[in-house]
Every structure is written in C-alpha cells, then in structure tokens.
Amino acid sequence: MAYTVTPSRLPEVLLIQPQIFGDARGFFYESFNARDFASATGLNAEFVQDNHSKSSQGVLRGLHYQIQHAQGKLVRVVRGEVFDVAVDLRKKSPTFGQWAGFHLSADNAKQVWVPPGFAHGFMVLSESAEFLYKTTDYWYPEFERTLLWNDPALGIEWPLPSALTLPVLAAKDAAGLLLSELETF
C-alpha cells in the first residue's frame, strides 16, 4: 500500500493520504502499515497506545501536550468531520508558536502526523465525530499541559459551526494557558 505524504506549513507535521481501493461493494484501505509509513514519511515511529473518542458538534478537545514523555500522534477520523490543529511548542524551532489546521473526515480518510513537541487539538464540525489516534508514548496525566485554544498570539482560525458562539470545552481546556505562560520544549 502506498501513502501520499504532504508537508504542512509546519514541515514536520504531515498530511497523509492512504491509497483507497473502492468499488460497488464499498472500499478498503490500510489505515496503518509500519513499513509503508516509515518508507513514505522517513519516520520510524513506534506506537504504544491507540485512543478513540466520540464527541458532539462544537466540542473542542485541546490543545494538549505532555511536557515529559512527549507524544507523537497519528490522528484520523472514522465517523464525521473535524478541524484538526497542531501548534509548534519547540522554542528553538523557526516555526515556534505557529499552527497548521486540517479538515479530516471519514469520507476523505486523511491522517495527520503530529510530532512530539507540538500541542494538538480538534473541533467537531459534523453532528458528531469519532476520532482515532495512535501515540508514541503513554499518557501521563501529571505531565499533561493545555495551551488555551483561543490564545490571541496563535490566531487559530477555528471554523466554529454556525449554530454556536463558543465551542463546548472541558474545564481543563477552558483553563488552558497562553503560549507566553506555558512550559515549552
């Protein structure tokens, strides 16, 4: 199987399109193949955990990262549509504090590679969405940090569904810190 890999405006954040085989019966694609992933991306990521979330329209999860045990994430949507965002938190990076956003859906089957050192989050655009992601390290709640989703220094252009004036947030996401206040890499 082959992947088409496109670097984003943050060169280490990759948009990945698997090869899809479809006919009158439906479709088939390999959502992950370690050998093909390494060949297409140049990365030899070892994934240790798979996560699956379901959220309603307007829910915004993020922007999360772990200051220790930083996680690389391979993310995709298997039902519905989301706007997915990665933010570079590596102080010495030329793209520090910049973001890249992607429309991911079950229909387009696109995936995003979010490397360690980046905050990650998504907003649900469809009635509901199921979101899957593989991580390169385990979740350690004591090291989890949250970047405020609407930090003016970031200028993320969240496509909020028209029926809402604000996204639906967990308490920890509403209490996220500004980039200027965060522990970064």
Residues with catalytic roles: 64, 133
Give the CA-trace dihedral at 43, 64, 16, 14, to 10 degrees: -60
The token pair at 81 is: 């549509």
Number of H helices, E strands in the chain: 2, 13
Helix, strand, coil abundance in the chain, percent, nearest 5: 10, 45, 50
Q: Where are the alpha helices (DSSP H) in the chain?
A: 34-41, 171-174
Cα 108 to its chain centre, rounded Å, is: 15
Instruction: Write the CB contacts of 126 (distance below 8 Å, at least 6 apart in sequence).
Output: 57, 80, 81, 82, 105
Q: Answer yes or no: are the C-beta atoms of 107 and 158 closer than 8 Å.
A: no
